[in-house]
Amino acid sequence: MKVRKAVVVAAGLGTRMLPATRVIPKEILPVVDRPAIQIVVEEAVASGIEEIVIVVAPGRSLVLDHFAPVADLERHLEERGKHDLLAVVRSTGTMARITRAHQHQPLGLGHAVLQARAAIGDEPFAVMLPDDIFDSERPCLRQLLDVAEAREAPVVALMRVAPQDISKYGIVEAAPAGERLYRLTGMVEKPEPSKAPSDFAIVGRYVLTPDIFTLLAEGKPGAGGEIQLTDGLLALSRRRPMYGCEFIGTRYDLGDRFGLMTAQIGFGLKRPDLADRLRAYLRTVISA
């Protein structure tokens, strides 16, 4: 299975991060100095993806502008001989082939993915949720693609979660199938902890086959009255073997205030230009 394209869903209203997201889409909120959307696009490119379809809500296309050329800024930097910054600005504009799809009504994640159907066509593809960002040696999506290519099957990223967090996620029923690998036998979106089949949550990286589109188009509203991707995945898992990969790395939930704060610290501590000062600062505030 060769996966060339990824769908990045950036169509949510970001209500969990208000008031920051009143005007700015949550995918533009920066982690250190990179917007979440850029971190995700960089992960896709590092995983071998060639084309990225970003699904946006109408009037919320700032995420796409982030990758467009900015002639004024480039001229300004060029005139002042700021070549390092110029390279940064230019590389953001050329890092991937990016196209857009629109979700005109907020009818759920499954519905958002379905809006990319024409752009994806009849080939396997990745889905990436920019609320979830990963700090890992091997990009999280690449870890999934390794499995998808070896097994010729769809794969989702899995992470164990605490009991009190189970109702925030799609939760899978899974049977061991290899190292950090599970065959998926069932899944349910945002279950009550007492009814959850496991503590294994799906987090925002998926490798899917195009037959998911028909299943999503036929899908009925599920949890929260929305067309859920998880319901489409369950239908897909009944048609063909499907796997979960317990990725290696740290995941941050940027849709959540605490997750955004810990991401700043986690990513900041990985930056050679900031790590020492940040570590020293954290020590002083913790001991104060």
Contact residues for ligand G1P (CB under 6 A)? 109, 129, 131-132, 169-170, 189, 201-204, 228-230, 255
Q: CB nearest ligand G1P: which residue?
A: 170
Q: Which CB, 27 or 189, lies closer to ligand G1P? A: 189
Cβ proximity to ligand G1P: between 92 and 247 the closer is 247
> What is the DSSP pairing of strand 51-56 with strand 5-10?
parallel
63's tokens? 């995420």
Closer residue to ligand G1P, CB minimum distance, 35 or 77: 35
Type and span of the H or E element at 229 = helix 229-239
190, two tokens: 């945002």
Listing DSSP states for 250-277 in one string gives: EEEETTSHHHHHHHHHHHHTT-TTTHHH
Sorted by sequence, the CB contacts under 8 Å of residue 200 that are 6+ apart come out as 158, 159, 160, 161, 171, 172, 174, 182, 244, 246
List Cα–Cα distances, 199 to 158, 195, 237, 254, 263, in angstroms. Answer: 10, 11, 19, 21, 23
Q: What's the min distance (Å) between Cβ of 200 and ligand G1P?
A: 10
Q: Which is nearer to ligand G1P, 92 or 189 (CB)?
A: 189
Closest to ligand G1P by CB, 43 or 131: 131
For the CB of residue 37, give the shortest distance to ligand G1P in the complex, in Å: 15
Phi and psi dihedrals of 14, rounded to 5? 65, 30
Smallest gap from Cβ 251 to ligand G1P, in A, equals 9
- Phi and psi based region of residue 171 (left: phi greater than 0; alpha: psi -120 to 50; beta: remaining): beta
Q: Specify the residue, 169 or 247, whose C-beta has the smaller distance to ligand G1P.
A: 169
CB crowding 126-158: b at 16 or more within 10 Å, else e: bbbbbbbbbbeeebbbbbbbebbeebebbbbbb
Please, which residue, 13 or 261, has the CB nearer to ligand G1P?
13
CA terminus-to-terminus distance, the chain: 54
- Shortest gap between Cβ of 186 and ligand G1P (angstroms)? 13
Give the shortest CB-67-to-ligand G1P separation in angstroms: 23
Nearer to ligand G1P, 204 or 268 (CB): 204
CB of 268 to ligand G1P, least distance (A): 22
Please report how close the Cβ of residue 86 comes to ligand G1P at its closest, in angstroms: 36
SS3 call for 44: helix
Residue 170 CB, nearest approach to ligand G1P (Å): 3
